[in-house]
Amino acid sequence: MSQEIAVIGSPDFTTGFRLAGVRKFENVPEAEKDAQLDDAVTRTLSDEEVGIIVMYDEDLEYLSRSVRESVEGSIEPTLVTLGESGAGGGGLRDQIKRAIGIDLMDED
């Protein structure tokens, strides 16, 4: 069974992923993040077909503490954040390593 990628965020954020073929998404308008983002993340976490959740890193600030801890601690699905701090440096590398158990970029 193949695992799906799901993207959560504003329509502007999700549109590019949808055009690239991502079928699972949760659009949360900027003005509604405080009210709707927790529910969108919770629904996606409980979807057994989802293997990777992609979010904009700054959107994590809108999550309640319990939902943020759930999504950040989740092994499957694995959270991948994109943005100023999420994909830079070792952030993405560490997330991939946690998801699959090996470091694909290890040169040894």
pLDDT per position as a tens digit, 32-70: 999 999 999 999 999 999 999 999 989 999 999 999 999
Specify the number of domains making up the chain: 1
Q: Supply the range of the domain harboring residue 93.
A: 4-100
What is the value of pTM for the model shown?
A: 0.77
User: Which residue has tokens 């943020």?
Assistant: 68
Is residue 76 situated within a structural domain?
Answer: yes
Is residue 43 situated within a structural domain?
Answer: yes
**Spatial contact of 81 and 56, defined as CB atoms under 8 Å apart:** yes
Is residue 8 situated within a structural domain?
Answer: yes
Is residue 57 situated within a structural domain?
Answer: yes
What pLDDT, on the 0 to 100 scale, is given for residue 82? 85
Question: In terms of C-beta density within 10 A (0-12 exposed, 13-18 middle, 19 or more buried), how is residue 105 classed?
Answer: exposed
**Spatial contact of 59 and 86, defined as CB atoms under 8 Å apart:** no
Q: What CATH number has the domain bearing residue 16?
A: 3.40.50.10580
What pLDDT, on the 0 to 100 scale, is given for residue 87? 46
Is residue 75 situated within a structural domain?
Answer: yes
User: Which of 19-23, 25-29, 65-69, 90-94 has the lowest average pLDDT?
Assistant: 90-94
Of 74, 32, 22, 30, the C-alpha closest to 56 is: 30
Is residue 105 situated within a structural domain?
Answer: no
